[in-house]
């Protein structure tokens, strides 16, 4: 059985197109950030790290994040990559036994614990894996510890790990039967998907 990966929720953005931080958006009666933490925890991740930036104090005061480790990213305006750096730096320095990180942006409420479990099943220090939806790569994405330095060096702005992953073998993990890989950029998209 593979090791348990750490979960990483990227929730630092201001949500300029959305009209406010997506961490505070509601879906199915709970905040996006609460749902993402639950998905990764139920998907087998331990610990679960949440990277906050915009409105961090409001998120902390409003969100119920039991057991999650809250990290603050002071460089959040520079883009998602800085939040990924914040999480990987924390994992590198504080969690020697963690062999991989399972990364989920906060604005993907269609991702389920089963999708997280499927991708997490590939956990090794050398692994790269990602959920796929009808053949297209999405989230969550598993980053084995052996790749953290490379991801850190090559991720800039809002590209996250995309540039690094483009040149690597990433194990595709079909998840369209148990989850949806859409992300929410505007409030009207949330209304379309909220049930």
pLDDT at 41 over 70: yes
Per-residue pLDDT band for 36 (boundaries 50, 70, 90) equals very high
* Model pLDDT, residue 158: 84
Q: What is the rounded average pLDDT of the residues 101-114?
A: 97
State the pLDDT at residue 1.
Answer: 44
If you average pLDDT over every residue of the chain, what do you get?
93
Kindly report the pTM of this predicted structure. Answer: 0.95
Burial of 137 (0-12, 13-18, 19+ CB in 10 A): middle
pLDDT at 194: 58
68, 108, 40, 124 alpha-carbon torsion, rounded to 10°: -120
Structural domain boundaries in the chain? 6-193
Lowest mean pLDDT among 20-29, 49-58, 69-78: 20-29
The string of pLDDT tens digits covering residues 9-23 is: 999 999 888 888 999
- As a whole number of angstroms, the distance between CA 112 and CA 95 comes to 25
How long is the chain? 195
* CATH superfamily ID and name for 6-193: Spore Coat Polysaccharide Biosynthesis Protein SpsA; Chain A (3.90.550.10)
Are residues 31 and 106 in contact, defined by beta-carbon separation less than 8 angstroms? no
Q: How do residues 169-189 score in pLDDT, each as one tens digit?
A: 999 999 999 999 998 888 787
Phi, psi of 151, rounded to the nearest 5 degrees: -60, -45
């Amino acid at each position: 059985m593979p090791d348990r990966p750490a979960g990483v929720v990227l929730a630092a953005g201001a949500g300029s197109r959305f009209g406010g931080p997506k961490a505070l958006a509601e879906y199915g009666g709970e905040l996006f950030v609460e749902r993402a933490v639950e998905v990764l925890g139920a998907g087998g991740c331990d610990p679960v790290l949440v990277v906050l930036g915009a409105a961090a104090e409001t998120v902390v005061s409003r969100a119920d994040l039991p057991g999650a480790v809250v990290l603050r990213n002071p460089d959040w305006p520079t883009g998602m990559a800085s939040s990924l750096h914040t999480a990987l730096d924390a994992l590198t320095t504080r969690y020697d036994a963690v062999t991989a990180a399972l990364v989920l942006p906060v604005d993907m409420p269609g991702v389920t614990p089963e999708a997280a479990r499927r991708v997490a099943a590939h956990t090794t220090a050398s692994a790269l894996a990602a959920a796929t939806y009808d053949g297209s790569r999405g989230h969550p994405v598993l980053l084995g510890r052996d790749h953290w330095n490379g991801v850190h060096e090559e991720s800039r702005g809002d590209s996250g790990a995309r540039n690094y992953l483009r040149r690597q073998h990433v194990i595709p993990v079909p998840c369209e039967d148990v989850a949806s890989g859409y992300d929410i950029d505007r409030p009207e998209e949330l209304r379309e998907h909220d049930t």
